[in-house]
């Protein structure tokens, strides 16, 4: 306000308000005339309107001018009063500022001398003040912290504490709740200190929120607390985990505290059962209590005295006692502390030592496992007959020799094994007992064998003087484990195959229905295209795509089958030679393809298409593994497999086999890839370049035909697939030459039951083109009703095997009750659809596998009707 008043004073001297009012009146008059002139355009009588506007304007000017004049006069008077007030307050403010500077200087000296640091920060975390003594604690000067805003201060808080500090300060500003935290801060030289920080929220005149706080360096206190806590923790850990019983009691013998070892030793369930009991209650002979307390009071301690104690169940415990008398501290009464070691076993052992020695000699002599006694340097001092038999050495040959250097000096792969790396030696050095460590040892003749070793140190006077080593030959067990693992892997693989087979069978029905529509309509388009060759060619392309899709689903079903489909006895060499005509077209000129046939006409029982599919999949895999060219070799031969060789081929039966080997010089496989090679949908090819079904189908075909398959490969060195199929006696089949029959037709009545609308429409159209009269039904229930309502007998029922509400078999049984002479054809999209029981009626049902061609439909319908 004072600058504004001063401006008015300089620009508005006395008399100026009247001049300004006059100027305003003149301006208003001009404005009124101009506006009224403009308004005249909208008035009916111009003179009247003008007169009224002038009168209105003069009245307005007079009133507003008077008001402005009065306001300006008032402002002048107010200006004079304000100047007097400002002058008075300026003098007071100068005096206050001087006093404030004096107090600030005093406060600055006070803050610099305090051990704690005072600070002020804004709501957004910027430090706007911090006392100078921060440098002695933090390493940074107050100016450095304030200039860096919140970056320096917050960035130095330990990450584990930062969120807690941030949350506390947010609560301080949002709720006004007092902030008090202990946290770690990194100093300028990099070391961490603990601080205790307290702060309160304050308001400034402009309404802003600030935090005023003070923090102290509590690093020394924290270190002392941590040291005390660590000491208490170690003491308690030693107390609770001590194998010896530890106790603390009153001077009169009343139990105050004990560890779990003593509780177990005396047979109690918890320490609470022992606390409060007197020593007389736990001594086997209560009369000994007074003697012990008297001796303890005189000498202050009792060392290595064996005293009988009574367990909870009444049995005797011989305990080796070490007890001392502790004076009370800080006003506490004196107490007794001591340890108890259970030596009952030792006393019993001492009594039976002679018997045990003779018994141990008998055991070591007859034990089936090798037993060694070693000294502190690992040298053999004793070995039993079993050890001599296992390792091939006699005690005279090994006595005084370091056992590790003779029998455990290298690994299975031949690399040296230093004694410092030996697990048994490390366990011995640490004083630990080792159980069941499996390793490899070497006999006198240098052969390696699997062993299971257990080792225990021998103590004497608190020092390890040797060890006992038990060695068990586990060669047979390892072999059995490997065989079991192999069988388990084969079982898991068989489960995977079965799961994929169930999946393939599940999708086959719907997929074959779709293919039925694609292939059926493409046939109709070809027949109806007439002279439109382009349309016919497109329809044939659709038919070709549908046929390829049918072959794909057939591949899924083939590899999932447990039994081979339509096997034929054929010469493997002849079949391979015939398939080679297609193989030559698959491989490029950069691949050297060779063939060696050596079965001499030996035959196998396998479907020809399956053998072709098997070879083509392996050839394509080999070709893709050699993008830059290489060698591909196909070889046949006869082999006799024994039990060991059969395991490599998946546990097939021993006997005579014909072997087909396909090898390449491509990228090869590592062990992980070979273990998953036959998994469905597993592929190492790029996305879009492989389905992962090729080798799975090969595996399925081989196993369906009673054979086995083996992969021999090294990464970067190519792959060899060995396939063995059982050898069978050759048979000769006469060649059959069949001419393709003409498309048969008819005029009979046909009832068509199919739940898929597109399939039903297609088949209905095909039958009508063949001349038949067709009645359509969406399911078995509707077909049965149509049969009941039919005015005349129906000649043929064509139904899907599986339909909602009523399946094909039930429909067939019930419709024959209405029309006994009706002929039946059942369709199915499942390759392995359940077959009806073989009774007289069901034997007259003809089955048609989807997807089928128009020719197959026409031939099947005509054949059934003509029966």
Say yes or no to pLDDT of 732 above 60: no
Query: How would residue 5 be classed by pLDDT, with cut points 50, 70 and 90?
Result: very low
HEC readout, 66-131: HHHHHHHHHHHHHHHHHHHHHHHHHHHHHHHHHHHHHHHHHHHHHHHHCCCEEEEEECCCCEEEEC
Give the Å distances, CA to CA, from 744 to 753, 772, 846, 867: 22, 11, 17, 15
Give the Å distances, CA to CA, from 586 to 78, 552, 568, 590, 847: 109, 19, 26, 12, 37
Alpha-carbon span 122 to 125, nearest angstrom: 5
Alpha-carbon span 383 to 399, nearest angstrom: 8
Bridge partners of residue 247, in order along the sequence: 258, 338
Length of the chain: 867
By the 10 Å C-beta count (0-12 exposed, 13-18 middle, 19+ buried), 786 is classed as middle
Cβ 133 vs Cβ 114: under 8 Å? yes
Alpha-carbon span 554 to 546, nearest angstrom: 12
Highest mean pLDDT: which range of 30-39, 517-526, 817-826? 817-826
Alpha-carbon span 505 to 1, nearest angstrom: 94
8 or 70, which is more confident? 70
DSSP-derived secondary structure letter, 532: -
Query: How would residue 2 be classed by pLDDT, with cut points 50, 70 and 90?
Result: very low
Alpha-carbon span 280 to 854, nearest angstrom: 106
Residue 300 region, left (φ>0) first, then alpha (ψ -120 to 50), else beta?
A: left
E-state strands within 589-629: 591-596, 603-606
Of 338, 339, 346, the C-alpha closest to 244 is: 339
Alpha-carbon span 83 to 87, nearest angstrom: 6
Please give the angle made by the CA atoms of 591, 592 and 595, to the nearest 5 degrees. Answer: 125
HEC readout, 410-444: ECCCCCECCHHHCHHHHHHHHCCCEEEEEEEEECC
> Cα-flanking dihedrals φ and ψ of residue 183, to 5°?
-150, 170
Residue range 759-788, pLDDT digits in tens: 888 888 888 888 899 999 988 889 888 888
Q: From the DSSP assignment, how many helices (H) and strands (E) are in the chain?
A: 28, 27
Residue range 315-363, pLDDT digits in tens: 888 888 888 888 766 667 888 888 888 888 887 777 777 676 677 777 7
Which two tokens mark 780? 């078995």
Highest mean pLDDT: which range of 168-172, 540-544, 714-718, 770-774? 770-774
Query: How would residue 564 be classed by pLDDT, with cut points 50, 70 and 90?
Result: very low
Residue range 399-423, pLDDT digits in tens: 888 888 888 888 877 888 888 888 8
Long-range pairs for 27-33: beta carbons < 8 A, 24 or more residues apart: 28/57, 28/60, 28/61, 28/64, 29/57, 29/58, 29/61, 31/57, 32/56, 32/57, 32/58, 32/60, 32/61, 33/57
* C-alpha gyration radius of the chain: 53
Poorest-pLDDT segment among 5-19, 189-203, 264-278: 5-19
SS3 373: strand
64 or 447, which is more confident? 447
Average pLDDT value for the chain: 78
Q: Which residues contact 3 (CB under 8 A, 6 or more apart)?
A: none
Q: Give the HSE-up count for residue 157: Cα atoms under 13 Å, Cβ half-sphere.
A: 18
Highest mean pLDDT: which range of 226-235, 379-388, 616-625, 848-857? 379-388
Q: Give the HSE-up count for residue 30: Cα atoms under 13 Å, Cβ half-sphere.
A: 5
Residue range 446-462, pLDDT digits in tens: 888 888 898 888 888 88
Cβ 203 vs Cβ 161: under 8 Å? no
Say yes or no to pLDDT of 174 above 80: yes
Using CA of residue 480, residue 485, residue 486, residue 491, what is the dihedral sign? positive
Query: How would residue 242 be classed by pLDDT, with cut points 50, 70 and 90?
Result: confident
Of 219, 205, 198, the C-alpha closest to 119 is: 198
- Parallel, antiparallel, or unpaired: how do β-strands 127-130 and 117-122 relate? antiparallel
Which two tokens mark 784? 């049965």
């Amino acid at each position: 306000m004072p600058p504004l008043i001063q401006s008015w004073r300089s620009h508005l001297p006395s008399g100026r308000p009247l001049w300004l009012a006059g100027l305003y009146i003149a301006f208003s008059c001009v404005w009124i005339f101009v506006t009224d002139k403009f308004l005249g355009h909208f008035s009916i009588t111009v003179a009247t309107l003008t007169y009224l506007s002038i009168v209105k304007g003069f009245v307005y000017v007079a009133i507003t001018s008077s008001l402005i004049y009065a306001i300006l006069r008032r402002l002048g008077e107010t200006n004079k009063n304000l100047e007097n007030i400002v002058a008075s307050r300026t003098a007071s403010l100068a005096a206050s500022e001087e006093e404030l500077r004096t107090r600030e200087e005093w406060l600055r000296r006070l803050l610099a001398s305090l051990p704690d640091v005072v600070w002020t920060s804004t709501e957004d975390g910027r430090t706007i003040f911090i006392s100078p003594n921060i440098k002695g604690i933090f390493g940074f000067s107050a100016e450095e912290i304030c200039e860096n805003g919140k970056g320096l201060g917050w960035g130095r808080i330990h990450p584990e504490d930062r969120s807690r500090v941030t949350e506390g300060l947010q609560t301080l500003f949002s709720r006004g709740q007092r902030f008090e935290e202990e946290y770690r801060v990194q100093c300028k030289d990099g070391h961490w200190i603990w601080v205790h920080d307290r702060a309160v929220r304050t308001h400034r005149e402009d309404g802003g929120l600030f935090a005023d706080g003070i923090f102290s360096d509590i690093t020394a206190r924290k270190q002392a607390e941590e040291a005390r806590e660590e000491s208490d923790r170690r003491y308690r850990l030693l107390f609770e985990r001590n194998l010896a019983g530890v106790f603390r009691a009153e001077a009169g013998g009343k139990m105050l505290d004990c560890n779990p070892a003593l509780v177990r030793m005396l047979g109690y369930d918890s320490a609470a059962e022992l606390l409060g009991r007197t020593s007389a209650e736990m001594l086997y002979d209560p009369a000994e209590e007074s003697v012990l307390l008297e001796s303890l009071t005189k000498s202050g301690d009792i060392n290595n005295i064996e005293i009988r104690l009574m367990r909870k169940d009444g049995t005797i415990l011989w305990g080796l006692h070490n007890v001392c008398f502790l004076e009370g501290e800080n006003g506490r009464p004196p107490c007794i502390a001591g340890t108890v070691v259970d030596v009952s076993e030792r006393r019993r052992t001492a009594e039976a030592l002679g018997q045990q020695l003779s018994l141990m000699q008998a055991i070591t002599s007859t034990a089936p496992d090798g037993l060694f006694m070693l000294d502190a340097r690992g040298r053999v001092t004793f070995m039993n007959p079993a050890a001599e038999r296992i390792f091939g050495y006699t005690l005279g040959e090994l006595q005084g020799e370091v056992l590790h250097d003779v029998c455990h000096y290298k690994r299975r792969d031949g690399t040296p094994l230093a004694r410092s790396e030996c697990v048994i030696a490390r366990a011995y050095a640490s004083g630990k007992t080792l159980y069941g460590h499996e390793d490899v040892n070497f006999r006198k003749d240098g052969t390696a064998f699997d062993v299971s070793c257990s080792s225990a140190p021998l103590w004497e006077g608190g020092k390890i003087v040797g060890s006992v080593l038990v060695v068990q030959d586990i060669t047979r067990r390892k072999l059995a484990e490997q065989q079991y693992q192999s069988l388990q892997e084969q079982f898991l693989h068989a489960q995977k195959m079965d799961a994929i087979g169930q999946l393939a069978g599940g999708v086959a029905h719907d997929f074959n229905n779709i293919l039925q529509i694609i292939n059926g309509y493409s046939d109709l388009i070809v027949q109806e295209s007439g002279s439109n060759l382009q349309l016919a060619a497109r329809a044939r392309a659709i038919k070709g795509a549908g046929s390829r899709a049918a072959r794909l689903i057939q591949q899924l079903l083939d590899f999932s089958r447990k039994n081979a489909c339509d096997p034929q006895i054929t010469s493997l060499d002849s079949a391979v030679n015939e398939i080679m005509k297609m193989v030559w077209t698959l491989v490029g000129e950069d691949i050297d393809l060779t063939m060696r046939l050596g079965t001499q006409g030996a035959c196998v029982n396998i479907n020809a298409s399956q053998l072709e599919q098997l070879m083509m999949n392996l050839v394509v895999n080999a070709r893709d593994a050699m993008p830059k060219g290489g060698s591909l070799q196909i070889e046949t031969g006869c082999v006799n497999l024994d039990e060991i060789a059969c395991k490599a081929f998946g546990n097939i039966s021993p006997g005579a086999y014909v072997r087909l080997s396909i090898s390449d010089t491509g990228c090869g496989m590592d062990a992980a890839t070979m273990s998953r090679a036959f998994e469905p949908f597993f592929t190492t090819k790029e996305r879009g370049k492989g389905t992962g079904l090729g080798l799975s189908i090969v595996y399925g075909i081989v196993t369906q035909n009673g054979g086995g398959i083996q992969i021999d490969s090294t990464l970067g060195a190519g792959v060899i697939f060995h396939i063995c199929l059982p050898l069978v006696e050759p048979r000769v089949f006469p060649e059959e030459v069949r001419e393709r029959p003409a498309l048969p037709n008819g005029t009979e009545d046909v009832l068509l039951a199919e739940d898929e609308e597109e399939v039903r429409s297609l088949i209905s159209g095909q039958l009508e083109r063949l001349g038949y009269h067709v009645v359509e039904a969406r399911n078995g229930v509707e077909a049965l009703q149509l049969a009941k309502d039919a005015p005349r007998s129906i000649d043929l029922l064509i139904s899907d095997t599986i339909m909602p509400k009523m399946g094909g078999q039930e429909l067939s049984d019930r419709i024959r009750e209405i029309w006994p002479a009706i002929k039946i054809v059942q369709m199915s999209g499942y390759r392995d659809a359940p077959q009806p029981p073989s009774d007289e009626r069901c034997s007259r049902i003809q089955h048609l596998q989807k997807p089928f061609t128009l020719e197959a439909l026409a031939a099947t319908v005509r054949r059934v009707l003509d029966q």
